[in-house]
Amino acid sequence: MKFTCLLRVSASARPCASFSYLAAVLIALAMPAAEAHAQRDDQFAWGLGAGATIPSGAAKDNHKAGAHASLMFGIGSVDSPFGIRFDAFYSALGDGPRGNLAIDQGEATLFTLMMNGLVNVYGSNRRLYALAGAGGFWYDPDGAGTVAVNDFGVAGGLGVWLPGINGFVEAKILNLYNALPDPVTGARGRKSAQLFPITLGIMF
């Protein structure tokens, strides 16, 4: 099943002349049901993804890159360039460079749940797509004196659909509002964290 581009599956059959009349009738009766089933399948898709999460800006001062995994559920319309995808994203971030920060965030785990709108932007087979979304996040550092933070985040990015494996490669930017403390005073929830997840995924 191809979700990112929501390509239409064509179910057609052409009975050979050597087939009996009964076989031809059975095939003809099966065609509408098969096509309807294919269209329903094209409207929904599950996906799994994994890759690297690269910190940027203030997040880079606090953390090193880490790995992530994601679970996705997509909804779309047959022959439409638009779709909706819900992403559950989990990432582990490494301890940062331990510079002149008021609070060392240490290592951290991150969970986000976002709703994304997708639109196909290039290619006859709708190979390139863009997405933008919003949702909530839970950020939990393990450094001394740190606390977990829950807040609002947004995302945007580009992806390339790989039809041969029903997969995709996707690069996004996540902006997590008020995730990090002030680097000088240590006041909590004063800095946003920007992260760049790069994901290889597959849809079912």
18 confidence band (pLDDT: 50, 70, 90): very low
Identify the sign of the CA torsion 142, 146, 151, 152: negative
**pLDDT > 90 in the chain, percent:** 63
pLDDT given at position 36: 38
Identify the sign of the CA torsion 190, 54, 200, 111: negative
Contact indicator for 110, 148 with CB cutoff of 8 Å: no
100 confidence band (pLDDT: 50, 70, 90): confident
Contact indicator for 173, 130 with CB cutoff of 8 Å: no
CB contact set of 84 (below 8 Å; sequence gap of 6+): 74, 75, 76, 115, 116, 117, 118
Quick: pLDDT tens for 109-145.
Answer: 999 999 999 999 876 566 899 999 999 999 999 999 8
Quick: pLDDT tens for 23-79.
Answer: 454 444 444 444 433 333 458 999 999 999 999 999 999 999 999 999 999 998 666
Q: Lowest mean pLDDT of 85-99, 112-126, 166-180, 189-203, name the range.
A: 112-126
Q: Which of 3, 15, 13, 11 is CA-nearest to residue 35?
A: 11
Instruction: Tell whether the model's pLDDT for residue 9 goes beyond 60.
Output: no
Instruction: Tell whether the model's pLDDT for residue 97 goes beyond 70.
Output: yes
Domain residue spans in the chain? 44-203
Query: Which CATH fold would you assign to the domain 44-203?
Result: Porin (2.40.160)
C-alpha 3, offset from chain centre = 12
What is the DSSP secondary-structure string of 31-83?
HHHHHHHHHHHHHEEEEEEEEEEEEETHHHHHEE-EEEEEEEEEEE-TT-SEE
| Section 167-186 average pLDDT | 96
Contact indicator for 65, 53 with CB cutoff of 8 Å: yes
